[in-house]
Amino acid sequence: MVKNPRTGKTIKASWLFCNVMLNQIKVLDRIYYVNDQLCYLSASKIKNKNGAPELQIVISFKRPQDAISSYRERWQIESMFRAFKTSGFNLEQTHLSDINRLEKLFALAIIAFVWAYKVGLFLHYNIKEIRMLKHGHRAKSFVKHGLEYIATILLNAHSQDKIGIFDFLSCT
């Protein structure tokens, strides 16, 4: 629920965006109260996991025209956390408690994450695209795509590395 500061009327935020079409972004210029905080509202309509249209409302305190793109960038960070937790790295399963060992583990995980991400991007755009699902999202992330390829090369003596996976670790 949002409240218009000029009229004092309270309405559902979704009503403000009822005319937003699929893949369209709408930014409201007027400021509203949400939980007694003045803020801006932006929205876009996307397909959810089941392929049904879903309204995505983003609340921001400044620059509402950038809110949706900023949210998408932030979502990449959420994808990184998912990769670290459950989608390949499983860092939550470590029983390390020594801070120095944890720092080393995270340093290695970050290097592996970037390596897998870069390999996954390369594979997607140059070798084999990741399959798109009905709702418009990829079947797996760039990280998972790269991680599976790297694991195949490293764990299978008969696999041939067609792209030079170790070249992606170079700083030059």
State pLDDT tens for residues 7-60: 888 989 888 898 999 888 898 888 898 988 989 899 988 887 777 888 888 888
Tens digits of per-residue pLDDT, 121-139? 999 999 889 988 776 677 8
Q: What's the whole-number average pLDDT of the chain?
A: 85
- In contact, 17 and 57? CB cutoff 8 Å: yes
Share of the chain above pLDDT 70, in %: 98
- Answer yes or no: is pLDDT of 82 > 70: yes
Q: Full-prediction pTM beyond 0.85?
A: no
What is 111-128 written as a DSSP string? HHHHHHHHHHHHIIIII-
**Rounded Cα distance, 56 and 26, in Å:** 10
The stretch 73-92 carries a mean pLDDT of 79
Query: pLDDT confidence of 172, banded at 50, 70, 90?
Result: low
d(CA 99, CA 115): 24
Would you state the pLDDT for residue 118?
Answer: 92
Which residue matches tokens 């299978």? 156
Mean pLDDT value across residues 86-105: 84
What's the CA gap between 44 and 6, in Å, rounded? 25
Q: Which residue has the higher pLDDT, 83 or 151?
A: 151
Mapped onto helix, strand or coil, the DSSP state of residue 67 is helix
Instruction: Note the pLDDT of residue 79.
Output: 78
Binning pLDDT at 50, 70 and 90, where does residue 161 land? confident
